[in-house]
Amino acid sequence: MTNADDELLSGRDLRDAVALRVMGWTLADRRAMGWSPGPDVWLTGDVENPTEQDWWPTESIEAAFQVVQKMRERGLRFQLTDRFAVDHRLWWVEFATPDNEYGGQHFAATVPEAICFAALEAMRQLTERDAALACLEGSKG
């Protein structure tokens, strides 16, 4: 998926992309788990908090800051400002490596949306970087 494709995401699709590609979570199959119908449940892989239910990082600042924490755990810096506001897009977010070589940034009308889109762009760049490094390592062997 390209950056342009990510720009078209909204609602459930945006939430799912962030859960899968940024957080590394898996959507639980409620029926296979023997659970009754209800809101989506994400399997986090965390021993202390193995599931996350009704998680909407595009709408909830608390959920969006879980995304920030995950990106910081990966060693990325986080910046948030309204200093660069453009039209209705009041918030600017950036995630970047310490050397500023890789990362993602995004303007949005809300802080949670800016965080989600910037995180997706940063993960896209990091994935491309890792693939390029793997190719270089493979060509040495």
Region 89-96 average pLDDT? 92
At which residue do the structure tokens 């898996």 appear?
26
Amino acid symbol at 1: M
- Residues 117/6, Cβ–Cβ less than 8 Å: yes
Nearest to 57 by CA among 103, 96, 9, 1: 9
Centroid of chain to Cα 76: 12
Nearest to 20 by CA among 68, 82, 67: 67
Among 3.30.70.1450, 3.30.2120.10, 1.10.3210.50, 3.40.50.300, what is the CATH number of 3-140?
Answer: 3.30.2120.10
Say yes or no to pLDDT of 7 above 90: no
Centroid of chain to Cα 46: 17
Of the candidate ranges 29-33, 54-58, 61-65, the one whose mean pLDDT is the lowest: 29-33
Question: Residues of the chain with pLDDT > 70: what percent?
Answer: 89
Beta bridge partners of 91: 108
Q: What is the pLDDT of residue 128?
A: 86
Each residue of 64-81: pLDDT tens digit?
Answer: 999 999 999 999 999 999
Q: What is the pLDDT of residue 132?
A: 76
Between CA 112 and CA 37 the distance in angstroms is 27
For the chain, strand residue ranges (E) read 26-27, 41-43, 51-53, 77-81, 91-96, 103-108
CA distances from 49 to 25, 46, 53, 67, 81 (A): 12, 5, 11, 15, 31
